[in-house]
Structure 1
Amino acid sequence: MELFLKIGEGSIQLGLLYALLALGVYITFRILDFPDLTVDGSFTTGSAIAAVMIVHGFSPWLACLGAFAGGLVAGACTGLLHTKGKINGLLSGILMMIALYSINLRILGSPNVSIFGSDMVFDHISPITLMLIIVIAFKLLLDAFLRTDMGLALRATGDNKQMIRSLGANTDTTTIIGVSLSNGLVALSGAFVAQTSTFADATSGIGMIVIGLASVIIGEAIFGAKTVFRATLAVILGSIVYRIVVTAALRIEWFEASDLKLITAVIVIIALVFPAVRSKVKQKGLAKKRSAELLSNIQTAPYSKPTGGEQ
């Protein structure tokens, strides 16, 4: 029992740490319908900026703010490449991700930087408590933003660009803002993760886009996403559920720590296939029910003997 509680606590902590990453991926993947691979680079950018600032004596909260700003800039560059440079969205993210790898090494000055023993935001408060407060705050702020005129334009850009352009909105601006905000949240998540692990590594962002997508897809599949409030809540809960599933899978004897990426891929595949299978089964059930009702109506319908004229 104690082991299960320990696993659950660790999974919740990791889930909350990566919940901001999941919210960022939700903005581009679901709202903007933009395949942004900058995430793998901007996550490391956030952790690198935070680590270097903390090592140089800056406040850990100021370091988190710097990380958020760095993510905003990285996202804005991707948005500009796509909107002004007319480069495909997927390719824009890949180009920025590649560029950020070298930039992150420049920021760090070495493959990794340790911040062990430095002041961090979690020194005087439990990581779960602090991250719960921060995640809820950002969730509510994002919900409020998506209900503003700019937020509605952002959502409309992902649904139908031509329609929102016909109404006079600048889709280039909304795309840049959305991608920028997304990567800002991702970088902030990287800053918090670096402070819990006490180091920043140049390769820490590899596979973050898959983790973010897994959280979004799992959350929507389990909890639904009919409203903005419910969708953002589902993403946060999906991040926690994902971590619980991964932790539980790694406890299986024939799984090793090196199988983490494989487990992640399998979880994403299952999460993608499950809604389609569930919908198909539901449709079959409804069709079977309707067929049974029609057959029952035919059998119970009164039989009228034809008259002489009808014969």
Structure 2
Amino acid sequence: MSDVLVEMIQRYTDARAGDGPFTTAIEGLTILRANGERAPSHMIYKPALCAAVQGTKWMICGERRLEYRAGQALVVNVEMPALGRIVEASPSKPFLGVVIEFELAVMREVMEALHAPPQSDADAGAGVFVTNLDGPLADCVRRALLLLDTPKAIPILYPSIMREICYWLLTGPGGADVARIALASGHAQRVISAIHALRDRFTELLRIEDLALIAQMSPSAFHREFKTLTSMTPLQYQKQLRLLEARRLMVEDSAKVETAAFRVGYESSSQFSREYARMFGAPPGRDVAALRGTFAQHEA
């Protein structure tokens, strides 16, 4: 199966310029290719199946580092900022991968239809884990990629493939984590509600008490469960969201450093620049200039 997936992704990406990532005719399905190792990059991971078909990649979220290689997949159950890096790739053997974003409404429907659904009322577990990409799950990825050759079939057939993906994840080794974190009504789901509020209001002054109230938990219990789920504190989570958005504003909207800092909630541009350099490895001006140079090379 791995050879089949490699061939399919290789053929798809060979017909397109650059390394990718490549969006596809299937909403939420992205194909990855890198012909060499990549520098670490910060991004916001959405709930998704991130499959490595060839090569190796790692992800750091908070204090956790997870590596997944060919034949494995990263399962992300909660939206979170993280650092990712491709560490095994070359022109002769590029990194190849597929990202399939989850449809949580479908996940809920599948879970409700299970004869013996995984227990989902336990305390929160980590919001991301690595699983094997083999058997029926790998076949689902293969059939999803096959649909790219027949776009008219996508709206008819892809929903059933998504249901299968949800089924195999819920009934697999990590099923309890998927159910508990993505779907449950226990601690995990309440923390996720607070995460969504934090995501929508990350420019505002952070008060743990306010987030704990949304989660209907005591501040100490909320702080503990938040860190268990995301491997970072609420303050660290907010800071990464702010800095990622500021970076986007400077790169895509050509915002000045001070403007970007103010728009994401910083009152001090010097504090912003210090925290930015710690996260991205260079001061804002130098980092943005380097990113624009990289984008220009890809577009040339």
In the superposition, the TM-score normalised over structure 1's length comes to: 0.28
Q: Which has the higher contact order (CA 8 A, sep 6+)?
A: 1
Larger % of strand: which? 2
In our comparison, the structure showing a higher alpha carbon Rg is 1
Higher helix share: 1
